[in-house]
Amino acid sequence: MDVSVEKKIQLLETMIVSRKFSDALKQLCKIKDKIPGMMIVADGQEAVGSGVCGALEPDDAIITNHRSHNHLLAKGADPKALMAEIYGKKTGCNKGKSGTLHLAVPEINAPCTTTVVGATLPIAVGRAFAQQYRKQPRVTVCFFGDGAADEGSFHESLNLAALWQLPLIFVCENNLYAGGQRYEEHTRVTDMADRAGGYGMPGMIVDGNDAPAVYRAALEARQRAVSGNGPTLIECKTYRWGGHSETDPHEYQPRDEIKAWRDKCPIRRLSEALLDQKVITAAQMAQMTSQAEGVVEEAVRFAEQSPYPAPREALEDVYT
Amino acid sequence: MQKLGMGQAVNQALREEMHRDPGVFIAGEGVGVSIHVNPMLPTHGLLEEFGPGRVKDTPVSEAVIAGLAVGAAEAGLRPVVEIMFNPFFTLASDMIVNHAAKLRYLSGGKSRFPLVVRIKSGAGFGAGCQHSHNLEAWVAHCPGLQVVMPATPADAKGLLKTAIRDDNPVIFIEHMGSYFAPPMPVPEEEYLTPLGRADIKRKGRDLTVVTWSGMLGPAMNAAETLSREGIDIEIVDLRTLTPLDRKTLLSSVEKTGRLIVMHEATRTGGFAGEIAAVVLEQGFEYLKAPLRRVTGPDIPVPVSPPLERFYIPNADDLIAAVRELLP
């Protein structure tokens, strides 16, 4: 299936916004008392969120994990509300309750970012069940890393999703590292997608740095799900350029390995292809970049200018 | 008035709510096709009445049963899922403690999680400590959850109906002994029993016994025995641990000046400690005597009948505690 030029440009734009957003966070988190908590970004992995979310309809849901920014931006979250939340401000999408690691954006059907590794899976099962129960032609996407595939919740969730043929796409974003542990150090299975067969669902392997390829795979899985043919496990093979978090010196990642993967940058790859095919011009590319920078600058300005919540607002929102 | 066991009352509540609201569904291990077929059990006959689309037998997968509830509730359904026995809560606990309880807060109040987790609980079946372990204090310790523990069939029906309609997660703990106790009157008409309100099951002037769930029966028996000696016990059935009805608790202690808290769960870190703290903080001046706890000892629930009987607090234990406090 050919991916349209318009779609490719959209995928590229999303990835550039994600990268610029991350670039800003990597700087901001180094400034004392600027950003609370641990900063986790996903540089080099932008094609996964962009490609998968590019295949979704607005009413489709995503459940995402600690490395969520790319997913949420690709799903359509407001960068200003995200940035303000990351700052811990009152105007943040969760009024300062969640911060960078638990961003919840239910208005775009991204109701949960969970930091408990493997916890996206059972929740996604519930979200997909609701879609099936109401006979809605919608899907839920569940993002998780390769480390989460070692949790018990992975087993329970894939088994039940396949048993009930839920409209669910399990997206394993295999970035080769689970914390400080290399992929080969946490499982014997060469391809995580192989585990799908053990649950009676199709597994797909896709180049996770190729946004149109990820998009095609997600579209196929979505079609299967809404046709009533159940879940799919898509393994997106990609790479985490940085450490687990911005304070992780990540000496366990060989420097030549990082360099090799940086050369496979998903943004450069798609933009060069589009430039080579003369689908976009260098000027258009520069404009996309400066547009993305503008979006992020505006988000940072909004967050900077927003007030903190009053301390006693901590007591609100536990119950309805 | 109809007389029902607690399981039958739960069954009636589920039936009524499923008829009322198509968004209510139930799921769990053996909620449809069960290894135990008994009309006294809570989900008996529901599969036949509502079909497999709404009565979902699940694999033996507690984590995903609880996750199913979290995800479906966020999407606007009203799941009522069952954890077969209280100790198996540990297998579902990440979804309940870290997600059902916290995701609304993490959303800044945007999302709601109208889910009920029904848990069967209580010793007395020789089932052993991995099937019998009262963990209500664990869940009561989690902001974001509400913990309901009915002691009578009538309360079970009214509280469960309220719990299903509530927009916040409810942990609904049923004492299995009550399924097979002699049936008790349950109103046939529609009624809702509010969460967060204790019920004075016996009025008295000399001493307050605060209890809940399976210990109401022994407490009532003890009060009856003591009344023959002219000792007048007031029994406060908490019904919901969180939210806690401090008002009823404190006004009862203000009246009687003496307090015993009785629960089947083990002693250390048990919810009696919280009751004691509330009274010491807000009603210290009411107390004419030290308070006492009548609880299970700090041991796992043993299997052998004399050992298990030793574990479960009974009317005699309560009577002994009362005698310590009354001059």
pLDDT of residue A57 exceeding 80, the answer is: yes
In the predicted model, what is the mean pLDDT of residues B16-30?
98
pLDDT digit string (tens) for B172-229?
999 999 999 999 999 999 999 999 999 999 999 999 999 999 999 999 999 999 999 9
Is A90 within a domain?
A: yes
Known active-site residue B141: no
Q: Flag if B64 and A157 touch (Cβ within 8 Å).
A: yes
pLDDT, average across residues B288-304: 97
- DSSP assignment of A146-167 equals TGGGGSHHHHHHHHHHHHTT-S
pTM of the complete model: 0.97
Q: Is residue A315 part of a domain?
A: no
CATH topology for B3-185 is Rossmann fold (3.40.50)
Residue A144 lies in a domain: yes
pLDDT of residue A180: 96
User: In b/e form, how buried is each residue of A147-173, taking b as 16+ CB within 10 angstroms?
Assistant: bbbbbbbbbbbbbbbbbbbbbbbbbbb
Over the stretch A65-79, which tens digit does the pLDDT of each residue have?
A: 999 999 999 999 999
* CATH value at residue A180: 3.40.50.970
A1 band by pLDDT with thresholds 50, 70 and 90: confident
Residues A50 and A11 sit within 8 Å (Cβ to Cβ):
yes
Q: What is the mean pLDDT of residues B107-117?
A: 98
pLDDT tens per residue, range B254-281: 999 999 999 999 999 999 999 999 999 9
Backbone phi and psi for residue B256, each to the nearest 5 degrees, phi listed first: -95, -30
Which residues of A are less than 8 Å from B144 in CB distance? Answer: 318-319
Tokens of B217: 């029966």
From the candidates B62, B105, B116, which should be mutated to test the interface with A, based on the most A CB atoms within 10 A? B105
Each residue's pLDDT tens digit, A144-174: 999 999 999 999 999 999 999 999 999 999 9
| pLDDT band per the 50, 70, 90 thresholds, residue A247 | very high
Question: Residue A168 is part of which domain span?
Answer: 5-304
| Closest residue by Cα to residue A241 from A14, A30, A99, A67 | A67
Among candidate residues B72, B120, B62, the one with its CA nearest the CA of residue B93: B62
What number of other Cβ atoms are within 10 A of residue B217's Cβ? Answer: 18
Q: Which residue of A has its CA nearest to B146?
A: A319
What residue ranges of chain B are covered by domains with CATH 3.40.50.970? Answer: 3-185
Angstrom distance (rounded) from CA A224 to CA B282? 61
Please give the structure tokens belonging to residue A104: 């919840």
Give the C-alpha separation, B148 to B129, whole Å: 22
pLDDT at B167: 98
Mean pLDDT value of segment B147-165: 98
d(CA A251, CA A157): 34
Would you state the pLDDT for residue A291?
Answer: 98
User: Is it the case that residue B327 has pLDDT exceeding 80?
Assistant: no
> Which chain B residue has the Cα nearest residue A120?
B67
CA distance A215 to chain B (A): 25
Nearest by Cα to A138 from A55, A46, A51: A55
Give the model's pLDDT for residue B249.
Answer: 98
Catalytic residue among B17, B29, B62, B264: B62
Exposed / middle / buried, residue B256 (Cβ in 10 Å: 0-12, 13-18, 19+) = buried
Per-residue model confidence as pLDDT tens digits over A94-121: 999 999 999 999 999 999 999 999 999 9
How many other CB atoms are found less than 10 A from the CB of residue B127? 16
Whether the per-residue pLDDT at A134 is higher than 80: the answer is yes
B186 and B47 in contact (C-beta within 8 Å)? Answer: no
ipTM: 0.97
Q: Which chain A positions have a beta carbon within 8 Å of B72's beta carbon?
A: 126-127, 129-130, 133
Residues of A with CB under 8 A from a CB of B: 61, 63, 92-98, 102, 104, 106-107, 111-112, 114, 116, 119, 121-131, 133-134, 140, 152-153, 156-157, 159-160, 163-164, 316-320
Q: Which residue of A has its CA nearest to B77?
A: A130
| Contact check, Cβ <8 Å, B61/A156 | yes
Which residues on A lie below 8 Å from B77 (Cβ)?
130, 133-134
> Total domain count for chain A?
1
pLDDT tens digits along A268-312: 999 999 999 999 999 999 999 999 999 999 999 999 999 999 999
- pLDDT at residue A32 is higher than 80: yes
Active site residue B62: yes
The one-letter amino acid code at B60 reads V
Q: Is residue A318 part of a domain?
A: no
Task: List every span in chain B annotated with CATH 3.40.50.920.
Answer: 199-325
Q: Specify if A314 maps to a domain.
A: no
**What CATH fold (topology level) applies to the domain B199-325?**
Rossmann fold (3.40.50)
